[in-house]
Structure 1
């Protein structure tokens, strides 16, 4: 039973500590939309999405009012489009028509983002996979709400370096295609290793092939709540610190569980998972970097930062798993630079570099996220950064991701404003030494020895 003290505590978390349900996401299978006729395929996709998700936004708004908890976004994820379009698409431009259909459907039902313009190429690329990847710059520059992801590696298969090399150029081309909007298209493109099937967080969400016809996934966030809780145990032992994070994560997850169950009931769609991720926003007081500083480092990036992040990530997961039987997705702590004011402050203070962020991704939930870099960065350098991050995921049997934004016309010392949840960011320097001879080797990096388990 929930008592009045817990209600008051939750209200305080919402009003004073930036607690929110970051997203209710409907995952929709599009396998039954497949048709060899492109026009018919697009018609089927539009009809399926606008039928299944027609009530998502009003239901989300109703739950928000009834529970008194902000639900920041309502989103849709769909089956990877490289598969859905395979029978009908004969060129990258054919795939772009599907992106425009997805965007039209997203606007019709009123969601904030739609994910699943995706391909899974961790071991090799089909002709259709390659066409979708080649279509990404035009697809993201000609739509508003569509997000794209490509899974290029896994612990079981290794890293598809042909795809990594191609995506370095695709990131550059997407930046150029959206140059007038400070290369914003790259904020809607993420490259994964070990991508989960059930991720409600953009830009990497897609509806996995192992999922049901439709599913409700909820993403919960609350860095401000954790930071406030830790401020009350300042100077205490690691045991007290860990217990405080776990208990706080438990409370946050219970809020998400309540929202997810109610959304599932009202929409008549099965509940999937709670993704308990400390996903920051640009708002002051809603920062993962602030938590790390509360734990004891002067600035995020200082010595001890990686250990503090490892502790935080682990305790968040332990607390969340106790609160729900179905915790999944990316659950843990995110470190996107542009979306976290504390991270931005650390970059500007010189405490945080891309190399330190890469080290931190060994223990956080995702990877190098929302990092703005000089617009003249070479495609092979971007591929090299992607390869490094994929290797961390592959060897450590965890999800890692890269969302780099080479902002055309800007260089180190400049900053860029994306707006909304995407925030703003200083342009970060990248290593200037070359890696093209490595990147241009063909084939794939094989799976590590510890992947051979069956």
Structure 2
């Protein structure tokens, strides 16, 4: 198990407060050192900003690009690995318009910058036009790099609570500085379900492993909060995978279910792990569910490439998993309406179940269904491009 990220939530405004950001960077350095002294590797430090709607309302066109550039430069200066300019609230009748090109450009032109939109929020209806424009932003991002890799830094979120640690959907609640912890912990599930054949014992082993391994991190975080006056939100104990079989949540599900991921029983295996996570006694935040990122899980990528797992199945599993549709490799010729239709299904599922979900879709220019991706990143594997059925959704998006 490793700490994927220590994520700070801070208010990022224009004009950009460089000295305030420097204090955030200094806190993250102290936090990383404190956790590392407990023998736990910290992979990244991150900063997430507030809702972007205020920036657009007060500063107009060009403000998002300026904020992204300032954030990217500040992250480099202060040694912060990644930064999110925050989320743009697009739910309801008063969603902003014309945001796609500016949001996509802000992400594409700044290598450390992430962003998201929030499409489902309690009490507000899904804005179909805004979801369609979000799909346009995804396509703009896809075309901004030769292999569509910039799409990894942008997502649509639904019912996402503030101050979770995982990117791209993380955003701050607008209050005083806060921080939270993200884990890479699929190996705990692989070990628990691989060594113990009896279900209840394996589940008990996994719960105990999380509590034993995470308690020292929690102690450090509570001490940091008390010492420096920051709010400790909690830990997202979602067992995020890494593209190696021993750190694959799909492999853990296969140990649990006894068959290839995607076969009957997979949904039950995913929900079983979710139930264990719910029982873990720690201060928790964020998703705290099973993450199924196709390109970040080598076993899941293999099952997709073998044709055992489809886009519809992944949406089906989203009913009980953590993040929804994550790092989905799609044909480069996908249309706005095709992508928006997938996003609407995620929004609908989130609204119906009142649960946080995301859609991080990755159309790859020049690739068609059945081609293999060629990403070169330690955090990403490769898989075959998944087919994307055609659908016009004309009653939702117009003719």
> Do they superpose with TM above 0.5?
yes
Stretch moving more, 113-122 or 243-252 = 243-252
Q: Is 1:278 paired with 2:239? A: yes
- Could you tell me which residue of structure 1 aligns to residue 349 of structure 2? 392
Q: Cα gap change, 1:21/1:262 in structure 2, threshold over 3 Å: closer, same or farther?
A: farther
Structure 1 CA distance, aligned partners of 2:212 and 2:334? 43
Q: Deviations over 1:44-75 (max 9, x none)?
A: 33332223323423x24422441111011111
Structure 1 CA distance, aligned partners of 2:93 and 2:352? 19
Query: Which of the residues 124, 128, 148 maps onto 1:161?
Result: 128
Is contact 1:21–1:218 with CA below 8 Å preserved after alignment? yes
Structure 1 CA distance, aligned partners of 2:151 and 2:398? 25
- Could you tell me which residue of structure 2 aligns to residue 95 of structure 1? 64
Q: Is 1:53 paired with 2:25? A: yes
Q: Deviations over 1:139-168 (max 9, x none)?
A: 111101111110111353232212111111
Query: Which of the residues 160, 171, 189 maps onto 2:154?
Result: 189
Structure 2 CA distance, aligned partners of 1:221 and 1:384? 31
3-state SS, counterpart of residue 376 of structure 1: coil
- Could you tell me which residue of structure 2 aligns to residue 24 of structure 1? 6
- Could you tell me which residue of structure 1 aligns to residue 276 of structure 2? 315
Q: Cα gap change, 1:196/1:81 in structure 2, threshold over 3 Å: closer, same or farther?
A: same
- Could you tell me which residue of structure 2 aligns to residue 425 of structure 1? 383
Query: Which of the residues 38, 45, 50 maps onto 1:79?
Result: 50
Q: Cα gap change, 1:221/1:194 in structure 2, threshold over 3 Å: closer, same or farther?
A: same
Equivalence map 1:21-420=2 (5 Å): 21-30=3-12, 33=13, 41-42=14-15, 44-57=16-29, 59-89=30-60, 91=61, 93-126=62-95, 129-177=96-144, 179-180=145-146, 182-209=147-174, 212-234=175-197, 236=198, 238-264=199-225, 267-319=228-280, 322=281, 324=282, 326-412=283-369, 413-420=371-378
Q: Cα gap change, 1:84/1:48 in structure 2, threshold over 3 Å: closer, same or farther?
A: farther
Gapped regions of structure 1 (runs ≥ 5): 1-18, 34-40, 443-454
Q: Cα gap change, 1:85/1:379 in structure 2, threshold over 3 Å: closer, same or farther?
A: closer
CA RMSD of aligned residues (A): 2.0
Structure 2 CA distance, aligned partners of 1:25 and 1:217? 5
Q: Deviations over 1:407-454 (max 9, x none)?
A: 1111222223141323333311111x3224144149xxxxxxxxxxxx
Q: Cα gap change, 1:259/1:344 in structure 2, threshold over 3 Å: closer, same or farther?
A: farther
Structure 2 CA distance, aligned partners of 1:382 and 1:438? 16
Structure 2 CA distance, aligned partners of 1:84 and 1:149? 14
Q: Cα gap change, 1:65/1:157 in structure 2, threshold over 3 Å: closer, same or farther?
A: closer
Is contact 1:25–1:76 with CA below 8 Å preserved after alignment? yes
Stretch moving more, 269-278 or 394-403 = 269-278
Gapped regions of structure 2 (runs ≥ 5): none
3-state SS, counterpart of residue 277 of structure 1: coil
Is contact 2:36–2:42 with CA below 8 Å preserved after alignment? no
1:274 deviates by 1.4
Structure 2 CA distance, aligned partners of 1:317 and 1:52? 31
Structure 2 CA distance, aligned partners of 1:133 and 1:357? 26
Q: Cα gap change, 1:239/1:52 in structure 2, threshold over 3 Å: closer, same or farther?
A: closer
1:297 deviates by 3.6
Q: Deviations over 1:219-266 (max 9, x none)?
A: 2231112211222211x2x43343233223322432431342344356
Is contact 1:22–1:73 with CA below 8 Å preserved after alignment? yes
Is contact 2:32–2:45 with CA below 8 Å preserved after alignment? no
Structure 2 CA distance, aligned partners of 1:378 and 1:23? 34
User: What number of residue pairs does the alignment pair up?
Assistant: 398
Q: Cα gap change, 1:186/1:401 in structure 2, threshold over 3 Å: closer, same or farther?
A: same
Q: Deviations over 1:289-343 (max 9, x none)?
A: 0110110242111111011101111211211xx2x2x311111211101011111
Q: Cα gap change, 1:258/1:22 in structure 2, threshold over 3 Å: closer, same or farther?
A: farther
Structure 1 CA distance, aligned partners of 2:99 and 2:219? 38
TM-score by length of 2: 0.94
TM-score by length of 1: 0.83
1:116 deviates by 3.3
1:351 deviates by 1.1
